[in-house]
Chains A and B, each alone.
Chain A
Amino acid sequence: MLKIKNLEAGYGKIRVLKRISLHVNPGEIVTLIGANGAGKTTLLAAITGLIRATAGEILLKGDNLERLKPEGIVFRGCSLVPEGRQVFATMNVRENLVLGAYVQHRQGKRQLQEGIEYIYDLFPVLRERRHQLAGTLSGGEQQMLAMGRALMAKPALLMLDEPSTGLAPLIVKNIFQIITRLREAGNTVLLIEQNAKAALRVADRGYVLETGKIILEGSSEDLLTNRDVQRAYLGRDVKEN
């Protein structure tokens, strides 16, 4: 689905991503874990076209994305749920979802309504709040709305940037359950998370990003038991000799 080879990108003279190669197979949940400043969000910015890659290749279903504008990339089937949700606060829930379907604007009213109903089934709380302004929702509800809005585009690849940030633990658990359900519904997900343990529990595979480089790749199971990952990201107390 997504294939990245030797990607380099940054801001001005600062090279944040040094040489990133990764891939996401169809139907997979892949997580990218790493500390603050490792380059996770920069990577998403490069994939979505918000910044230009200075070297390397980004392929979505075999098509190069590096030269496309952000809207072109969305039309190719790549949707982002940004960090901090970024819902349209002064619009109601339904309107937010309709906007998410922008790339599907050629579809008829009936399909649009079906899409919205599908999102309501996935997140029943959004149906209850459908006439409420997005800005008045709780953090967890806003996260669900942001995910629902991205799904309205029927993306081939859904990218989630730190969906657990700033949410209460119980809500976080709920969000990760929803991510698992997304896979069951056949979605392909690239999940960026600081909460490495939770992310690895829902993902099939993972990559560890450190100072702009991928230092480890493996099945989630393997990464969870890797001692380096445990020490650096899972907060496991390992006695030093």
Chain B
Amino acid sequence: MGDKNEKPTFARMKTQPDMSGTALQTEFVPLSVIRILGKKLVLQLKAFFFTMQEFFLFSARAFLSFPKMIRYWRDVLDQATICGTDSIPIVLVSSISIGALLAIEVGNLLEDFGAKTMLGRSTALSVIRELGPLLMGLMLSARFGSRNGAELGAMQISEQIDALRAFGTDPVAKLVMPRLVAALIMFLPLTALSDYAGLHSAAYMAEHYHRLDPGIFWNSVYPRLAPKDFVVGFLKAPVFAIIITLVSSFNGFAARGGTAGVGRSTIKGIVVSSGLVLIANFYVSKLVLENM
């Protein structure tokens, strides 16, 4: 350690006398950097697990509030209008455009193989199993999730949620449970609508762009659809409803730091719920298709 002939190495860049002043103590810079990074990682992991714990408790409280559904039926109806009826235009626009686009691209591809008559089947499978529910999920994550995050975040920073608690009302039962029930009810018909609009726009493009007879298109759709195709698609609706509502509401409740804080929590809610929707989409498909 104190050998003066020893050449300094990369790991011994910084030397300083120890407390007694008699020997040189070498501080390994990379190790200290690793130590700091390690400490930060531990703190972040701790914060992550704490947030996850809070999220699961929050979710459990939302589900346990289901018996209060009758008491808050007006709130459930209001939320059903917001996440259901009011979301129809955006769901229709996205599913019609993706259905049409899918028919054009897949039709071009199948034409090269002389299999254009299979256009209906390929489009139907894509729309019913994957694209219909996924697009509906992403659109509602942006529309319903952002509304939840912003509204609940604004209520949090203006102490309205504290006011509910202070006067003896459970804010999760009053604000989150109606949103969750409404989403669970409304996401199923929205998925059906998304599938319907996507398939019909694909059929329209098949007829007018690829000059495919509608009879041929629909004949390749109906006889070949199996129950598992519908199970895959419709099982995603309640899964997405739970993810979008709970993630966006939790982030709204966690908003801190004024209007900028509301913005941050809303963005976080949309980003996390959209990511989870994509992951859940994959696993639900995998689970059902492997087991049915």
Decide if A and B are genuine partners. no
- List B residues at the A interface (Cβ < 8 Å): none
